[in-house]
Amino acid sequence: MTNWIKRLHTWFGLVNFVILLIFGVTGLLATARRPGEQKQPPAVVTETAFTLPPGVVSDRDAADAIRRRLDIPAAGFNFRRDERNLLVATYYTPSGPRRVTLLEKQGLLRIETRRNSIWQYFSVLHETLPREAGDVRIRLWGYYTELSSWCLLGMSLSGLWLWLSSRPRLRWAWASFLAGSGAFALLWLLSR
Amino acid sequence: MHRWLRNLHLFAGLFSAIMTLQYGLSTLFMSHRSWFGEPKPLISEASYSVPAGSAGSARSLALHLMDVHGLRGELRQGRETENGFVLRLALAGIQHDVEYSRASGQAKVKTTRRDSRQTLIAIHHMGGVRFSNWVNNAWGVLVGAVSVGLIVLAVSGIYLWFKLKRERTAGALILAASLVYSLTLIAILRNA
């Protein structure tokens, strides 16, 4: 049994190798960030020709048609009418938000692209889950984050088993475990 | 070297075990809300008299409520309104929404105590060490330490797996599949 748990522990870790690094980097970024700090990357504005496909009536369908036409890997989007009554849709992608204004009479799309830094990109990737699926690429990444959360649980539980079954009397191991779980328990109590 | 890395992997894993379980569980809570039903926070309301001298700003009002009435948390969203101030004091497991009226000299406090599931989700979003509340800063330190732990676990785990000769073939296949899948999507989503 312990051999199989060891094997599973190894496999969970190998499946999770990349995303564990992403989780680690994201956590370090969160630690270094000031509260409320959110740097907005500069926008690059482009325009492209666009005509709404026939049959599109609602603004939601129009925003979705724009997403498909521009091939935006959006985890989600919202839309509104601006003060000139133009449809403005904002698409949230891991590499940064894109705001698209539909200039229907001119047959144009005005696209503002803000590109996240590579660190912000990793941060957004780590929170992309399958329920936000609108695009197949996002959905595929979401499956990986979903799998990784199950693997995290599996790794933690199998790791505890392997410790207790192989080296239960190691004092430094107990000290590490009690430091981590003790800090968690104390902060949990203080936070409630 | 091998023994040293094996111990490092064990100690980093045991220190991070509870937080890793927390991240895995809270991710499932967030991605599968329908599985777990509606959260059940406890909500209570109270009203406190505040001397005019202690309510010159949202911050001085918050300090008064903390010193005299025992409210706790990080001051968030404090702003002046037509009648006085509104502010929020928040910890992972508890949140006080305060509405102060200059005319009555009363501060109405709505206290929301999150259930365990909501608290785990709030802890998942903790990060940073520049809060005014030391409990939130302590969470930030723990998040930072666990983030380093995750990176150590990923890197040392690869070494430890490679030393297991019997697991090399299966492990190499899993690692290769995981790397191809994740790195391809990372590249595609970055450049889309």
How many Cα atoms are found within 13 Å in the side-chain-facing hemisphere of B52? 4
Chain A partners within 8 Å of B19 (Cβ) = 180, 184
Cα gap B185→B192, rounded to integer Å = 10
Contact at CB, B144 and A31, closer than 8 angstroms: yes
3-state secondary structure of B74: strand
The dihedral region occupied by A30, where left means phi > 0, alpha psi between -120 and 50, and beta the remainder, is alpha
B183 touches chain A (CB under 8 A): yes
Minimal CA separation from A176 to chain B, in Å: 5
pLDDT given for residue A36 in this prediction: 63
Find the closest chain B residue to A28 by CA distance: B144
B11 touches chain A (CB under 8 A): yes
A181 touches chain B (CB under 8 A): yes
Find the closest chain A residue to B14 by CA distance: A177
pLDDT given for residue A41 in this prediction: 78
Cβ–Cβ under 8 Å, residues A151 and A9:
no
B44 touches chain A (CB under 8 A): no
pLDDT given for residue B76 in this prediction: 84
Q: Which fold has domain B42-113?
A: N-terminal domain of TfIIb (2.20.25)
Contact at CB, B142 and A183, closer than 8 angstroms: yes
Residues A15-45 have pLDDT tens digits of: 999 999 999 999 999 998 876 666 777 889 9
Q: Which residue of B19, B130, B181 is in closest CB contact with A34?
A: B130
Q: Where along chain B do the CATH 2.20.25 domains lie?
A: 42-113
Full pLDDT tens readout for chain B, 192 residues: 888 999 999 999 999 999 999 999 999 999 898 899 888 899 999 999 998 888 888 999 999 999 999 999 989 888 889 889 999 999 999 999 999 999 999 999 999 999 999 999 999 999 889 888 899 999 999 999 999 999 999 999 999 999 988 889 999 999 999 999 999 999 999 988
Cβ–Cβ under 8 Å, residues B96 and B110:
yes
CB pairs under 8 A between A and B: 218
ipTM score: 0.88
Cα gap B28→B101, rounded to integer Å = 41
Q: Which residue of A94, A181, A190 is in closest CB contact with B17?
A: A181
